[in-house]
Each structure stands twice: as structure tokens, then as C-alpha cells.
Amino acid sequence: MNRKPIACPKYYPNTFEKLDRSIRESFKHKKGPGTLQAQRRNVKNDLFLVPSETMEKAGPCTAWGYMEIAEAKFPKTYLILGTNHHSETKYSTYLFANWETPLGIVKINEDLGKTLQDQLPQLVNEHTAHENEHSVEIQLPWLQFSARDKLQDLSFIPLTINTKDIKEIKKLAEVLNKFTEENNIPVIASYNVEDTATIKYIESGNSEALLNYKQRRRKDIKELAPLLTLIEIANLRDKKGEVINFQTSVSEENKREHYACINFK
């Protein structure tokens, strides 16, 4: 049986028609790209940061990121990094079944998921961390829409992270860097960028300074792990974060909240 969606309707609409319309409106929004994606190009974009927020608040911003993902060369699978809010497991995946959204089924790449487990023995295949976790799931409708020309071939590997230790994150990044480079797998990390200071730390590639900054501001460090991991993978490839889009919420009730899409090149 497929993993059923748990993030809708809170994070995205719960019917095909409403969800498809919401994504299209996000792309065409005045704060979004203004149009749907063009045809794919033979361009390799492989390290992305995208919002971990509702379509109502961050849809146009998220569309900017998925515009670039959609126009890049289509890969054999995607690795999606999210936060683990629901289990004590340090690194968790879910390879038991395909995942379902109102747009249809997204296949798990079980073979490559097991290969990653072999390379990362701490990676646990478990239900607990994923049954009620939104951070990975909310990226799937965007992937489905951006890959609607390749839906039969679309697959992904979920990975949620629960550590605040920068040394552990750097070791994780080393494993993920080797795994994704060997298999040409793009990495999508789910995190909400709150301010321009965070962007400056991302652009500098200094994950430790970013962690210290968030700790000084007493922010939830657990949610930072996917971003820190992405920064460390980028550092291993000598890539720097380039802002695709940075904007405030389009929701009238949340005007002061900020979101960003960043491509590491």
C-alpha cells in the first residue's frame, strides 16, 4: 500500500484540480516566474534549497526553484533532505512503499535507497519518522508538476536528519556527496530561510557560523540540518549558493515571513 499524504490540506490542496491550479498560479503569480517552465536543457543543476512551507505562503517563491529544476537535465532519481520532527533516529529513510499525493504516485527508488544504506550504516528505514512528517512530502507535488513530461520515470529517496552536531553533518555530507556524484542524483533540501543574514552565511559556505547565528537567536536548530548538510556538500564540490529568489510571504496574514530558493553552482 502506498504512503498516503499527511501534509494536505494544511500545506497544499487535497484534490488534483485544486493542487494543479495552485501550482500553476504560483508559477504565473506576479511574485513568481510569471510563466510555466520551458523545455528541458542539457544543464546539470544538482544542489537546491527550497522552502518548507505552505503553498499559500511560499508558492511563488518555491516555483522559482522548481522552474530551474524542471528545466535541467532529468535525473534517474532525486534525493530530498528534510527535518525529522517525529523520531529520535539520526538519519531516516522510508523505502517501504511509493508515496502518494493528489497528483498521483511518486515512486521510491528502492535500489538506490538501499545502496545509500550500505554506504551510510546509520541510515534507518523506518515508518516512525515519516508517518506524520511534512518536510519531504511537500516537495513531491512540485516535483510531479515539474516532471509531468517524465512522470513514469520520476522517483526519489527521502532522507530526514535529526542532529545538531556539525561534525556529524560534515561526515554525512561526505557520504551523500560521494553517493550523489557517483549516481548523478540532484539534492533538494527543505528549509525556510528567515532573513538576509542567513543568506549571507549560505553564500559564504560557513555552516558553523550559520549554526552559531541560529543558536544565538534561539531558533530551532533541528530544522537547520538539511540546509547545513547541503552547504557542506556544496563545499566539497567548491560550489557557492546563488539566490534564485528571496521574498516575503504572499499571505496577507504572514507578510513578515521570508522564503528563499537557492541554487549551489
CB 139 within 8 A of CB 157: no
Given a cut of 80, whether residue 91 has pLDDT beyond it is yes
Question: Is the pLDDT higher at 219 or at 109?
Answer: 109
Q: pLDDT grade, residue 219 (50/70/90)?
A: low
Q: What is the mean pLDDT of residues 38-51?
A: 88
Question: Is the pLDDT higher at 217 or at 110?
Answer: 110
* Grid coordinates of 24: 500553476
Q: Determine which of 11-15, 148-152, 227-231, 243-247 has the lowest per-residue pLDDT on average.
A: 148-152
Q: What is the mean pLDDT of the chain?
A: 95
For 105-144, write each residue's pLDDT tens digit.
999 999 999 999 999 999 999 999 999 999 999 999 999 9
CB 133 within 8 A of CB 161: no
Q: Which residues, other chains included, contact 55 with Cβ-Cβ below 8 Å and sequence gap of 6+? A: 11, 12, 13, 22, 23, 26, 62
Q: What is the mean pLDDT of residues 64-87?
A: 95
As a dihedral over the C-alpha atoms of residue 38, residue 41, residue 47, residue 49, rounded to 10 degrees, the angle is -10
Q: CA 20 to CA 127: how far, in whole Å?
A: 28
CATH topology of domain 16-264: Protocatechuate 4,5-dioxygenase; Chain B (3.40.830)
For 162-190, write each residue's pLDDT tens digit.
998 999 999 999 999 999 999 999 999 99
Given a cut of 80, whether residue 43 has pLDDT beyond it is no
Given a cut of 90, whether residue 82 has pLDDT beyond it is yes
Percent of the chain with pLDDT over 90: 88
Predicted pLDDT of residue 220: 66
Q: What ranges do the domains of the chain cover?
A: 16-264
For 221-264, write each residue's pLDDT tens digit.
779 999 999 999 999 999 999 999 999 999 988 878 999 999 99
